[in-house]
Amino acid sequence: MNTTHTAPAVRQTGGDVRLSGISKTYGSFTAVHPLDLTVPRGSFFALLGASGCGKTTTLRMIAGLEEPTTGTVSLGDQDVTRLPPYKRPVNTVFQSYALFPHLDIFENVAFGLRRRGIKGVKKQVEEMLDLVQLGEQARKKPHQLSGGQQQRVAVARALINHPRVLLLDEPLGALDLKLRRQMQLELKRIQTEVGITFVHVTHDQEEAMTMADTVAVMNGGRVEQLGAPADLYENPRTTFVANFLGTSNFIEAEVGSHRGDDLLLDACGDRLVLPRARCGAPAAVGTKVLAGVRPEKISLAHADDAGAVPGDRNRLTGTIAEASFTGVATQYVLDSPACPRFSVYVQNVDRDTRLVPGAEVVAHWSPAHTFGLDAAQDAGAGAEETA
Amino acid sequence: MTTTLTEAPPPLSPTAPERTPPRRRGRLTPYWLLLPGILWLVLFFLLPMVYQASTSVQTGSLEQGYEVTWHFATYWDALSAYAPQFLRSVVYAAAATVLCLLLGYPLAYLIAFRAGRWRNLIMVLVIAPFFTSFLIRTLAWKTILADGGPLVGALNTLHVLDVTGWLGWTAGDRVLATPLAVVCGLTYNFLPFMVLPLYTSLERIDPRLHEASGDLYARPSTTFRKVTFPLSMPGVVSGTLLTFIPATGDYVNADLLGSTDTRMVGNVIQTQFLRVLDYPTAAALSFILMAAILLMVTVYIRRSGTEDLV
């Protein structure tokens, strides 16, 4: 069974990287299930997932470093499935950079040009080193550079060949947090400047959302969902996506009745409104659904002020079990009959001093921020991986 | 569990005793630890060297005894008398080293990158010859290369011996007692000393460098020339040194597999010491050999530029 995913075209029409029914098995283990994927030319595409989800294998099949068990890889109109890596117009930035330790920075960057027999590489290499701000380091050896500089050499070494597609395999994994944030912006800038298609593999959901135009969330060798970062975040179609990208609360509920375009849900005595369009599960009266809501969409009111909460909001009563102050916000965990561990993030604008552990509260949010998922799935899927 | 708190070390108080300056004995400890090694070197390396050096400048005879007369002419005499043997030693050792490299590199490459679960087995097979004596192994080659044996017969039928005979490596229809036999023996005996360092340096190469090279448009042969081989240079250098140096001074192979026409400098030294009993000439030959090897090795290391490698 193939699942088809096509990202919205970003700049130009006509997919540049096209995977058709591609799969990879090692013995009895299936790393990648048959997959169809189109990455539009010029887009910044992220394959996001926990380790072992098949994202790196997919990337390596595009690079030619891994031969697909079934299916084909095309770049534009050219089928490259059978081409060895050195004949593919594709370059890779490896996880640990894989810079040649016996060559200096200049020769590392010039490597691809020299192999293609291009003469007079000096000007090109110098321009590329300037682009990644390493012009001064040209005659140093890789081990003399810092991690961030090595990372930029790896990008320059790949980009100088003007590949049709640049593949990045967890390129920022070895850097510390601060440098990683800086390099994310740097890579994004370079991508915008050169306009080459980037396919980026990462397990860091924030990195994927910051950099990519389109994110494909992978789980167990399959693409769970594909779309623009904001779309994935706001409209997750599976609990895995909802938990892997950020945090979600799930309330087990039953469809009570329909009212216009809304579903009215019963959740242990609380009544919730869910727009029908945001319910990704069968919505017949009596079916069980998981009603999801992001912790930052929720407001808290002390039980004494419950009357002041507007009537059109979804509400859930409970007691505060934990409260942790994080500076910008306070994270509460509520104990509610409908959802035993219900997270709420409240911005520290005006802090209500009555909101301490043990306090009776009403959590309320706009029905438009509720999403409905099939109750047959594990509500905790994907939550551990990001923890 | 509550006891863990009380077991914590007491906090440093400002009244804690001031650090005493390190005692004299503490400072000498490294030197005391070096002593056994230094003693060993003095006893078994330096003293024999000094003894041999003094022997090499002695004159006299076995009956009347030798005494130091600073007779440096022995060096010149020894060198001019045995120049062909010196040259032969270097040529044979160089040929054996090149053969070892040609045979050992593919083997080491196979073990490092292709052997998979057979890696350990092949490693044991490489080292296995060491379980038997050097002498026995060399004698076995006498059987392998024996006149009229299957190997020599086959080489003869294939007219290989015509070619090697024309090159002066073999004589007539025999291989034994020819330069080729000596070089074969040297190659066989020193091959593990080439394979092991080569394997070590190949095994250290990150396989992702091969992938990166392929990704950057290098076909496999180019990857080998531009990435694998340069990165294995430390192994090539140490392997060739470990092969060339002992092979130059070797005399067993020339003795067992060669003839009087294939005598190497090691054979001359052995004869001078044990048969002719001309100790000064033997000692002088040893020093000349040592100096020549040192010189060649220095030039070689400078030229190969391995100090620049990671």
pLDDT tens-digit series, residues A313-352: 998 999 999 999 999 999 999 998 888 889 999 998 887 8
Phi, psi at residue A201, to the nearest 5°? -100, 130
- On chain B, the residues whose CB falls within 8 A of the CB of A161 are 216-217
Residue A14 has pLDDT above 60, yes or no: no
Chain A interface mutation, best of B202, B213, B216, highest count of A Cβ atoms under 10 Å: B216
Mean pLDDT within B233-255: 94
Between chains, do A85 and B310 touch, taking CB under 8 Å as contact?
no
Q: Tell me the pLDDT tens digit for each residue of A201-224.
A: 999 999 999 999 999 999 999 999
- Chain A to chain B Cβ contacts (< 8 Å): 66
What is the percent of chain B where pLDDT is above 70? Answer: 90
Q: Which domains does chain B have, with CATH numbers?
A: 73-308 (1.10.3720.10)
Residue A98 has pLDDT above 50, yes or no: yes
pLDDT number for residue A233: 94
pLDDT number for residue B12: 47
The answer to whether B307 contacts chain A (CB < 8 Å) is no
**Backbone torsion region of residue A187, taken as left when φ is above 0, otherwise alpha when ψ lies between -120 and 50, otherwise beta:** alpha
Amino acid in position B78: A
Phi, psi at residue A227, to the nearest 5°? 170, -175
The residue among B83, B136, B155, B129 whose CA lies nearest residue B252 is B136
Higher pLDDT pick, A267 / B226: B226
Between chains, do B213 and A100 touch, taking CB under 8 Å as contact?
yes
- Residues from A contacting B (CB-CB < 8 Å) are 63-65, 84-87, 90-92, 94, 96, 98-102, 111-112, 115-116, 141, 143, 157-158, 161
- Beta-strand relationship, A70-75 and A78-79: antiparallel
Give the pair of three-digit tokens for residue A164. Answer: 């049709």
Amino acid in position B122: I
Identify the sign of the CA torsion A84, A87, A88, A93: positive
Q: Which of A84, A96, A111 faces B216 most closely, judged by CB atoms? A: A111
| Confidence category of residue B18, pLDDT binned at 50, 70, 90 | low
Q: Which of A86, A98, A111 faces B219 most closely, judged by CB atoms? A: A86
For residues B29 and B264, the answer to whether their CB atoms sit within 8 Å is no
The answer to whether B213 contacts chain A (CB < 8 Å) is yes
Higher pLDDT pick, B2 / B246: B246
Counting Cβ atoms within 10 Å, is residue A120 exposed (0-12), middle (13-18) or buried (19+)? exposed
Between chains, do A112 and B217 touch, taking CB under 8 Å as contact?
yes
| Confidence category of residue A15, pLDDT binned at 50, 70, 90 | low
Residues 6+ apart with CB under 8 A from A111: A100, A103, A157, B213, B216, B218, B226
CA distance B37 to chain A (A): 35
Buried b (16+ CB within 10 A) or exposed e, A296-319: bbbebbbeeeeeeeeeebbbbbbe
Between chains, do A85 and B215 touch, taking CB under 8 Å as contact?
yes
Between chains, do B217 and A100 touch, taking CB under 8 Å as contact?
no
pLDDT number for residue A375: 87
- On chain A, the residues whose CB falls within 8 A of the CB of B216 are 86, 91, 111-112, 115, 157-158, 161
Q: Which of residues 79-118 of B touch A (CB under 8 A)?
A: none
Helix B179-203 vs helix B233-249: angle between axes, to the nearest 10 degrees? Answer: 150
Q: Which domains does chain A have, with CATH numbers?
A: 3-241 (3.40.50.300), 242-296+311-381 (no CATH)
The residue among A46, A56, A382, A107 whose CA lies nearest residue A221 is A56
Residue A48 has pLDDT above 60, yes or no: yes
Query: Which residue from A minimizes the CA distance to B305?
Result: A102
Query: Which residue from A minimizes the CA distance to B231?
Result: A102
Mean pLDDT within A373-381: 85
pLDDT number for residue A183: 86
Q: Tell me the pLDDT tens digit for each residue of A220-242.
A: 999 999 999 999 999 999 999 99
Q: Tell me the pLDDT tens digit for each residue of B100-136.
A: 999 999 999 999 999 889 999 999 999 998 899 999 9
pLDDT number for residue B306: 60
pLDDT number for residue A86: 95
Of A67-76, A146-155, A178-187, B188-197, the poorest mean pLDDT is in A178-187
pLDDT number for residue B16: 47
Buried b (16+ CB within 10 A) or exposed e, A229-254: beebbbebbbbbbbbbbbbbbbbebe
The residue among B127, B96, B125 whose CA lies nearest residue B253 is B96
Between chains, do A94 and B222 touch, taking CB under 8 Å as contact?
no
Name residue, tokens 């300037």: A130
The residue among A279, A59, A330, A249 whose CA lies nearest residue A169 is A59
For residues B267 and B251, the answer to whether their CB atoms sit within 8 Å is yes
The residue among A191, A241, A193 whose CA lies nearest residue A213 is A191
Q: How far apart are CA B295 and CA B46, in angstroms?
A: 20
**Count H helices, E strands: chain A?**
9, 21
For residues A236 and A225, the answer to whether their CB atoms sit within 8 Å is yes
Phi, psi at residue A307, to the nearest 5°? -65, -25
